[in-house]
């Protein structure tokens, strides 16, 4: 039997981290939380992360910059970006960069879970 997929949540807002982690736990996923892109990059076990949920706007590195950094380092992780400031140009740029989904806060739980399912399906060997 396979282990539960691990999803990383990177957001500088504690309430978003807590509620998103609770949602993922209730959906049978394992969640790891980080307050910044930098703390995520410095963590052990990045290779075990199967999906990344990152805030678009955070102090320091943005979620899109984090996605780009991982891809440039040949350690791409399917990414869902979330933002409190939805902007169509940023959305288009993110999707062009290979982000799986771009969701506005507050996001719908079913929509987020569908994005994660798409990301995890993409990680499974064909």
Q: Are 79 and 99 in contact (CB under 8 A)?
A: yes
In the predicted model, is pLDDT for residue 75 greater than 90? no
Q: Taking Cα atoms as reference points, which of 90, 78, 86, 81 lies closest to residue 111?
A: 81
Q: Is residue 4's pLDDT more than 90?
A: no
Q: How many residues can be counted in the chain?
A: 126
Asked if residue 86 lies in contact with residue 104, where contact means CB atoms within 8 angstroms, the answer is yes
Average pLDDT over residues 71-95: 93
pLDDT digits (tens, 9 = 90+) for 10-69: 999 999 999 999 999 999 999 999 999 999 999 988 889 999 999 999 999 999 999 999
Give the residue among 73, 38, 70 at the shortest CA–CA distance from 52: 70
Chain mean pLDDT for the chain: 92
Q: What is the mean pLDDT of residues 75-100?
A: 94
Q: Render pLDDT for 45-58 as a digit per residue (tens, 0 to 9).
A: 888 999 999 999 99
Ramachandran bin of 15, using left for φ above 0, alpha for ψ from -120 to 50, beta for the remaining angles = alpha
Domains of the chain with bracketed CATH: 6-123 (3.40.50.2300)
Q: What is the pLDDT of residue 123?
A: 55
- The answer to whether 91 and 102 have CB atoms below 8 angstroms apart is yes
pLDDT at 42: 94
Judge whether residue 124 has pLDDT over 60: no
Query: Quick one: which H or E segment has residue 114?
Result: helix 109-123
């Amino acid at each position: 039997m396979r282990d539960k997929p691990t999803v990383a949540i990177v957001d500088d807002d504690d309430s978003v981290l807590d509620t998103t982690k609770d949602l993922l736990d209730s959906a049978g996923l394992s969640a790891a939380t980080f307050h910044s892109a930098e703390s995520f990059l410095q963590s052990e076990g990045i290779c075990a992360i199967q999906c990344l949920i990152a805030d678009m706007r955070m102090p320091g590195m943005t979620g899109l910059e984090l996605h780009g950094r991982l891809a440039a380092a040949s350690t791409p992780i399917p990414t869902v970006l979330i933002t409190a400031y939805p902007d169509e140009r940023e959305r288009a740029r993110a999707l062009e960069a290979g982000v799986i989904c771009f969701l506005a806060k507050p996001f719908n739980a079913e929509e987020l879970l569908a994005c994660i399912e798409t990301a995890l399906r993409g990680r499974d060997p064909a």
